[in-house]
A and B are shown apart, each in its own frame.
Chain A
């Protein structure tokens, strides 16, 4: 089970939106993953597989406990899918290709 964390500055609105959109993409890709959202302070030490956040916040949240990737537009499912596919390809995780 892949553990993904979505992050925004305040942990209120944007990270939740990214989380919902990411959950949609995960469903489309047919992979097993759990997504949580939080703000910067909690995310820094988050023990998970992958952290998704904006380019500006990557230096603030990257750490040893997880891999961090930037999603430049939280609303672009295409971008989210691209990052997740790249992540899965690197680890040999199987997923449904986009139609």
Chain B
């Protein structure tokens, strides 16, 4: 009996606790179920394990860049970024990554089960978001109950994820049909809340006949297709401007012109490209991690619920209204920057960081859904609403995760904010 217990304990400490190995195991099981050849199984498993380590390194770089430019924000805006400076995302991922892997797997199985027995026949295939939500729910729970047992974390996490992954595509499907013109695909994305509001309210802003696709856009806007360059560009402009302000007002503490220029480059430009670097590495890692897991999940789902609709990543809707994508992105960005100045220097509430990735991808969602019911005005409204939700959400939610992983609030989609706002009080009541 003792031997069994010590073996189980060894497994828990050395395998389950090591998220990279756990994810590798999930991938391996998936590859074996798909009857892949020996070399495919070995390669796929190793890629998943290595991918997770790359992801962790990416978050390390990201977090250190954030610490690098936070003082700049604070000295220029005169407010401290609330909530940050406590726990860090990289530590949280190291500790809870294993649980996230299990939650992702069990949550997926619950999704498949619910799709099979209910009328909500949707299978969530947006792997990277499944990963992040599997990390977010434990973060919320641990904020409320830091001594939560692993069993509780897995139970709560898997149930909430399984239900969310089944119902989120379902409630947005009527609006999704308006966007795509058919019923073949579903949206599996944590921007369902801003998509929903943009679609519902868009009709009060304009008419769908005045579609964005009748508008012609200048060529240079295609630039923003590259996430790395786009992020570096946006953060670069922002941080250089802030650094210049800091030098001019003396907040930087530099005396000579030479020192000032050095300050602008090291605290402005370099931190911005470091941030873009961290983001790129992190995304690369996530891509490797889900690269084997999602095909495996899909294979399983297709056998159990053959008539299910795949719930997919938001870019699947972009081709239905490509101009709305750019309009939504621009509206979201302008709104966010305006809010950043209001929330920071004006209200002295906190500082928020522009999440280029979300402003682009989610602003686009707001634009496309807004356009489907309200044309150009609807698209602008949808983008602006998304920017506002991202800005206000970040300001409110970052401190709510301060003891676990506040940086999650900086890379969050609106649904994540709603989850924290709704679940944290509920967990408080129950636990």
Contact = CB atoms under 8 A, between A and B. Distances in A.
Partners in one complex: yes
A17 B227 contact: no
Contacts of B11: none
Contacts of A55: 319
A41 B312 CA distance: 22
A57 B264 CA distance: 34
Interface string A24-46: 00000000000001111110000
B222 A56 contact: yes
A10 B228 contact: no
Given A14-B315, A17-B125, A37 B287 contact: yes
A40 B315 CA distance: 14
A23 B291 CA distance: 13
Contacts of A10: 227, 283, 315, 357, 361
A22 to B, nearest CB: 11
A16 interface: yes
* Chain A interface size, under 10 / 10 to 19 / 20 to 34 / 35 or more: 20 to 34
B78 interface: no
Given A23-B295, A56-B222, A60-B222, A39 B287 contact: yes
Nearest to A9: B225
Contacts of A72: 319
Given A12-B287, A56-B322, A41 B280 contact: yes
A63 interface: no
B298 A20 contact: yes
Contacts of B128: 12-13
B226 interface: yes
B184 interface: yes
A73 B185 CA distance: 12
Given A16-B287, A20-B295, A40 B225 contact: yes
Interface in B95-125: 125
A74 B425 CA distance: 40
A20 B295 CA distance: 7
B228 A41 contact: yes
Given A10-B361, A14-B316, A60 B225 contact: yes
B370 interface: no
A9 B286 CA distance: 14
Contacts of A60: 222, 225-226
The 8 closest A-B pairs by CB, nearest first: A13-B313, A12-B128, A14-B315, A41-B228, A11-B287, A13-B126, A40-B226, A14-B313
Given A23-B295, A37-B291, 9 more contacts: A9-B315, A10-B227, A12-B127, A20-B298, A39-B227, A41-B229, A41-B280, A56-B222, A60-B222
Interface of B: 125-129, 184-185, 222, 225-229, 280, 283-284, 286-287, 290-291, 294-295, 298, 310, 312-316, 319, 322, 357, 361
Interface of A: 8-14, 16-17, 20, 23, 37-42, 54-57, 59-60, 72-75
